[in-house]
């Protein structure tokens, strides 16, 4: 196991080639994590844990928390410390129950985003907040700073622990946001350490969303071309 320093740097939201809107190879992702000086990374591809499991196998010099950014009917929900994927398109309540069944931790990413279609809306957040462990109070891919400030204010108002992540879809974004927290051993003491953490980060800029759309189209065209060849 990788030794953790007292100031453990954790990027809590990342994507790899296993997400439909990212083409970052796992080997390249691993190099970027080390270069960013991160101690722990939460691998949270969209609706799959396959990339996270593979990254955990090849990780050197950093730890991997297996996670998933799940497309629920109430918006995106991140599950951490998973060993089984949670299916998409369930209600928020059922999605959270599936995470809890594994002893996982529930995080709501970018709840006040203005540049994402699938973020959790305020009504759903209000309904589900009693079952939420943490809210992302800094996401490096937000279009403007006010969305993060709104999330931080909501977390303070309702005494919910704050999380932070780069939401990196390309290797150059990894580490643009992270939480520096005390050392922890696993899921049992993760939230306690997170509650004592300090958020660091800067916005990645709006160009990254153009690259994401480009990568999504490239992957879609690749799958379509492959299907045509196979036929």
pLDDT category at 221 given cuts 50, 70, 90 is: low
Q: Which residues pair with 10 in a beta bridge?
A: 40, 179
Domains of the chain: 8-230 (3.20.20.140)
**pLDDT-based confidence at residue 227 (cuts at 50, 70, 90):** low
In this prediction the pTM is: 0.88
| pLDDT level of residue 129 (50, 70, 90 thresholds) | very high
Best mean pLDDT range from 71-75, 113-117, 224-228: 71-75
Give the pLDDT confidence of 58-114 residue by residue, as tens digits: 999 999 999 999 999 999 999 999 999 999 999 999 999 999 999 999 999 999 998
Question: Do residues 197 and 181 touch, judged by C-beta distance below 8 A?
Answer: yes
- The rounded distance, in Å, linking the Cα atoms of 213 and 191 is 33
3 state SS of 124: helix
Determine the pLDDT at residue 230.
43
63-72 and 75-80 beta bridge pairing: antiparallel
Question: Given a cut of 50, is residue 6 above it in pLDDT?
Answer: yes
181 CB burial (10 A radius; 0-12, 13-18, 19+): buried
Percent of the chain exceeding pLDDT 70 equals 86
pLDDT at 121: 94
What is the C-alpha separation between 115 and 147, in angstroms, rounded? 10
């Amino acid at each position: 196991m990788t030794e953790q320093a007292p100031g453990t740097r954790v990027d809590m939201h990342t994507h790899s080639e296993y997400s439909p809107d990212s083409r970052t190879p796992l080997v390249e992702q691993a190099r970027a994590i080390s270069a960013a000086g991160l101690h722990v990374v939460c691998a949270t591809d969209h609706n799959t844990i396959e990339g996270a499991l593979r990254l955990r196998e090849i990780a050197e010099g950093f730890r991997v928390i297996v996670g998933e950014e799940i497309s629920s009917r109430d918006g995106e929900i991140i599950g951490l410390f998973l060993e089984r994927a949670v299916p998409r398109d369930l209600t928020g309540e059922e999605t959270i129950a599936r995470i809890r069944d594994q002893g996982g931790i529930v995080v709501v990413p970018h709840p006040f985003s203005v540049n994402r279609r699938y973020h959790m809306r305020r009504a759903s957040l209000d309904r589900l907040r009693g079952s939420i462990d943490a809210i992302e109070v800094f996401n490096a891919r937000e279009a403007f700073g006010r969305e993060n400030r709104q999330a931080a204010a909501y977390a303070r108002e309702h005494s919910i622990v704050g999380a932070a992540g780069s939401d990196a879809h390309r290797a150059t974004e990894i580490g643009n946001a992270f939480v520096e927290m005390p050392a922890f051993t696993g899921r049992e003491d993760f939230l306690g350490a997170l509650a004592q953490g300090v958020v660091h980060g800067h916005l990645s800029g709006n160009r990254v969303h153009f690259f994401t759309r480009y990568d999504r189209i490239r992957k879609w065209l690749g799958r379509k071309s492959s299907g045509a060849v196979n036929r």
